[in-house]
Amino acid sequence: DAGVIQSPRHEVTEMGQEVTLRCKPISGHDYLFWYRQTMMRGLELLIYFNNNVPIDDSGMPEDRFSAKMPNASFSTLKIQPSEPRDSAVYFCASSSSWTSGRPKPYEQYFGPGTRLTVT
Amino acid sequence: QKEVEQNSGPLSVPEGAIASLNCTYSDRVSQSFFWYRQYSGKSPELIMSIYSNGDKEDGRFTAQLNKASQYVSLLIRDSQPSDSATYLCAVKNFGNEKLTFGTGTRLTIIP
């Protein structure tokens, strides 16, 4: 199976611009997670979906952040407008549930990440 | 008190020795435990999962879980320079798919 795919791998943008990060989870996984990692705050969960439905968005820092999952194979994280403090590495991860019948439930597999720099 | 705590290190271990990484967690209903390895500039990579008390071995890696004492550890036998990385401990609670990560321990294997 292909792993989690993210694009772009690097994004440099100016403050105030809209940024869209993309993720394709592992086929058959029914959970998708968006994380942000910085040196100061470590790895933080922003939001996660189950069967394309947002379950917990309590980690989304502000209304400038939004996430969607229109189908089982695609999700986006959008920042509008972007600010310099949004600079971080954003990871997408996916996992399967116990009821999915897939092996190794609960284990989250991470994509390569998107390094975002807002100037 | 942080939910998941790890010594940030750096932890330096001679090549060939055993590296011991520790993690404590605060929530007694924690159900599943994971160790991730993260090389600099890369994404976290799952290396071990453990669900019940005791030891679980996979190659040079052994995960140990003690729910009564609320700690989980990772032993790396015959440490290699390629094991130099940051190791993240993650905990999943019952009824919740979220993982709570520790801040990670930076491990350096000295040739």
Residue A100 reports pLDDT greater than 80: no
| Phi and psi, residue A56, nearest 5° | -145, 115
Give residue-wise pLDDT tens across range B10-44. 999 999 999 999 999 998 887 899 999 999 999 99
Q: Chain A contacts of B44, Cβ < 8 Å?
A: 43, 91, 110
A107/B34 CB distance under 8 A: yes
A42/B32 CB distance under 8 A: no
Contact A34/B at CB under 8 A: no
Q: Chain A contacts of B46, Cβ < 8 Å?
A: 107-110
Give residue-wise pLDDT tens across range A51-76. 999 999 999 988 999 999 999 999 99
By C-alpha distance, the chain A residue nearest B86 is A42
Give residue-wise pLDDT tens across range B42-60. 999 999 999 999 999 999 9
Contact B2/A at CB under 8 A: no
Long-range contacts of B79-83 (CB under 8 A, 24+ apart): B79/B13, B79/B14, B79/B15, B79/B16, B79/B17, B79/B18, B79/B19, B79/B109, B80/B15, B80/B109, B81/B15, B81/B109, B81/B111, B82/B109, B83/B19, B83/B37, B83/B107, B83/B109
